[in-house]
Amino acid sequence: MTKLIVRSCGPATSIQDRGRFLYQRYGVSPAGAMDRLFLAAANLLVGAAPDAAAIELGLGGARFTAEGTLLVALAGPSCSLSVDGQKIAPFTAARAEAGAEIVARIDPGAAYAYLALEGGLATAPDMGSRSMHRRSGIGGAPLAPGTRLPAQGGGPEPLAFVEPPRHETGPIRILPGPQDDFFPPEALATLCGEGYRLSAQADRMGVRLEGPVLAHRDGYNIVSDGIVDGSIQVPGDGQPIVLLRDRQTTGGYPKIATIISADIGRFAQIPPGEPVRFAIVTLDEAIAAAARLDARIEGLVGACQPLAAPLTSERLLALNLIGGVTSAQPAD
């Protein structure tokens, strides 16, 4: 199997797929890609299943060397890839020759991106998933210089997206509860106000927010109960913490609200220091948003085309190049 060798990477770099299921009852965090949409986008460009494992890059990025000829693709809301010093167009797979240096970077405006390898990453699964969970070591030791990452191989000719995938926009949508009754009624309105930004304390486990204090009605200790991705817990200091994929399975602080499943990836992409707005939606709206995210991911399958494909008029239209052209005739 062709391998990619890690040359340098920040601590936020890990291998992630859809996540690890059925072990939360034993205290095992589900882990999994922070942003499913861009994991799927990167994988599809190299002929892998949308939920296959890829390298998740956090702030700082990473450098690699290809051990043999290998198709790679990077996808994220704001990131850049170069192969042997040559800049690769966004959302485009690139063939790296043996020995080529691959540099992947997160650019300002986002927090995560996915580097997919030809056919998908082929590291050994651990309890049904290749996702790494740093705190427990499940899924393997953290990536370090010299780590060799095998690719399944057998990918297609390089592909590119006709139109880059995008998240929905607008406030991050939440559903109140499960412990909103631990707070005075105005607390949810405060949470949905303008005052919050992400602190620098942000990782795959959770993100601490900075802003108005959310006072508890009476006490902030509860007997531990289950936590989900997107739980917004409020410890004694009143500063909310959003729990994400590497969270613990149970916890003892009241959770005022929960980010809807469709918006976890979108929230995770907000860089530290940036403001965040929340808005309350209904369960039906949350389910509709989950269906749209699923459709968006399924739609990606048909949205990538071979790089070498001839530029048909339909493709030109799709690329939206026509708008700038007034005449096909050369000017006199």
Q: Does 269 bind another protein (CB under 8 A)?
A: no
163 vs 294, beta carbon nearer another protein: 294
Q: Does 280 bind another protein (CB under 8 A)?
A: no
Alpha helix stretches (DSSP H) within the chain: 36-45, 186-191, 264-268, 283-303, 313-319
Least distance between another protein and beta carbon 222 (Å): 7
Q: Is 118 left (phi over 0), alpha (psi -120 to 50) or beta?
A: beta
Q: Which residue's entry shows tokens 């191989």?
A: 153
Residue 99 CB neighbour total at 10 angstroms = 11
Q: Does 178 bind another protein (CB under 8 A)?
A: yes
Q: Which two structure tokens, joined as six digits, stand for 8?
A: 């340098």
239 vs 248, beta carbon nearer another protein: 248
Least distance between another protein and beta carbon 38 (Å): 20
Q: Which residue's entry shows tokens 């953290």?
A: 142
Q: Does 255 bind another protein (CB under 8 A)?
A: yes
Task: Compose the 118-137 pattern: x for residues touching another protein by CB under 8 A, - for all others.
Answer: --------xx-------xx-
DSSP string, 300-319: HHHHEEETTS---HHHHHHH
Q: Does 283 bind another protein (CB under 8 A)?
A: yes
Which residues on neighbouring strands pair with residue 191, listed in sequence order? Answer: none
Pick from 2, 92, 129, 179: which binds another protein (CB under 8 A)?
A: 179
Which SS3 state, helix, strand or coil, does residue 298 take?
helix
Q: Does 22 bind another protein (CB under 8 A)?
A: yes
Q: Which of 49, 30, 18 is nearest to 117 (CA)?
A: 49
Q: By CB under 8 A, which span of 37-45, 56-64, 250-258, 319-327 interacts with another protein? A: 250-258
Q: Which of 4, 155, 149 is nearest to 67 (CA)?
A: 4
Q: By CB under 8 A, which span of 15-23, 76-84, 99-107, 114-122 interacts with another protein? A: 15-23
Per-residue DSSP letter, 330: P
Q: Which residue's entry shows tokens 């509709």?
A: 288
Pick from 14, 190, 258, 269: which binds another protein (CB under 8 A)?
A: 258
Q: Does 186 bind another protein (CB under 8 A)?
A: no
Q: Does 246 bind another protein (CB under 8 A)?
A: no
- Can you give the binding site for another protein, defined by CB under 8 A? 21-28, 126-127, 135-136, 138, 174-175, 177-179, 222-231, 248-250, 255, 258-262, 283, 286-287, 290-291, 294
